[in-house]
Amino acid sequence: MNKDIEQTHHQSFEDIKQTDKDGNEFWYARALGKLLGYSDFRNFTNVIQKAKEACKNSGQNVSDHLVEANEVVLGGSGVSNPYPSFALSRYACYLIVQNADPSKPIVANGQTYFAIQTRRQELQDDEKFTQLKEDEKRFFLRNELIEHNKQLVDTASKSGVETSLDFAIFQNHGYKGLYGGLDAKGIHHKKGLKKSHKILDYMGSTELAANLFRATQAEEKLKKDGIFDKHSANQTHHEVGKKVRQTIEELGGTMPEDLEVPEKSIVKIEKEQKKLIK
């Protein structure tokens, strides 16, 4: 039943998607707000403002993702009138649902829908990103993941994950959720890596993107749920990883442990890039 509800919500987000004359997809803010359960658009504008700040802080150009526009809305009398609104990119929708009321079931599903699509597919669909070779994508995403792991460490430490051993256990809970029960050691063995090899250095872009999503969502959930003990933090990380895995399955993707292992490590890629710069 829950899976049917989630699929219905995912379809709802697709149903309100618009396409401009150049074939670019976008969502109208008023339609999205209504779907997310905001009956008063004035309340939803607060969420949009937070999304703008998040977009700016992520280094993105806000005007590329949130554009002021007039949206035609059907009134109670059956008359359609234009109202001030915004045309939103998929990334903007992702930021909005991250800042929306998490107690609303469709918001939780919206977070999964837009975040997975944004991290796993839309980065790859972006014109500039698709021009990059796979090695460059891996290098970019690995660095993103390293930075977000630092933020996750900081957030987890405030949730009772204090020692390096605590964090290793916490990290393994996230891995087990995402990799169907495999911890870091199990992933290492599954990939056939040498003892000196680091897991992140031998992930392809799709696998790195899934792990980036896991890390960012675990951090957000720890904050939003106000978790202050390491047992609950571990359980939360496991649930987030499991949810990401479930969504990948629903999208028809390959499970991360079954993805092809790149022959070249990201460390080697980094060295090659440094030589090119010189």
Q: What is the mean pLDDT of residues 49-70?
A: 89
- pLDDT tops 80 at residue 23: yes
Which is more confident, 199 or 118? 199
Q: What is the mean pLDDT of residues 151-157?
A: 92
pLDDT band at 124 (very low <50, low <70, confident <90, very high): low
- pLDDT tops 60 at residue 10: no
| Predicted local distance difference test score (pLDDT) of residue 6 | 40
Which is more confident, 9 or 205? 205
The 10s digit of each residue's pLDDT in 84-98 is 999 999 889 888 888
Q: What is the mean pLDDT of residues 236-265?
A: 93
| Predicted local distance difference test score (pLDDT) of residue 106 | 73
| Predicted local distance difference test score (pLDDT) of residue 115 | 60
Domain boundary assignment for the chain: 1-111, 132-278
| Predicted local distance difference test score (pLDDT) of residue 7 | 42
The 10s digit of each residue's pLDDT in 162-195 is 999 999 999 999 999 999 999 999 999 999 999 8
- Helix, strand, coil percentages (3-state) for the chain, rounded to 5, are 65, 10, 25
| Predicted local distance difference test score (pLDDT) of residue 207 | 95
DSSP string of 92-142, one letter each residue: HHHHHHHHS-TTSHHHHHHHHHHHHIIIIIIHHHSHHHHTS-HHHHHHHHH
| Helix 164-178 and helix 134-157, axial crossing angle in degrees, nearest 10 | 130
Tokens found for residue 36: 């997310």
| Predicted local distance difference test score (pLDDT) of residue 94 | 83
Burial zone of 165 (CB within 10 Å; 0-12 exposed, 13-18 middle, 19+ buried): exposed
Which is more confident, 235 or 77? 235
Tokens found for residue 138: 């891996």
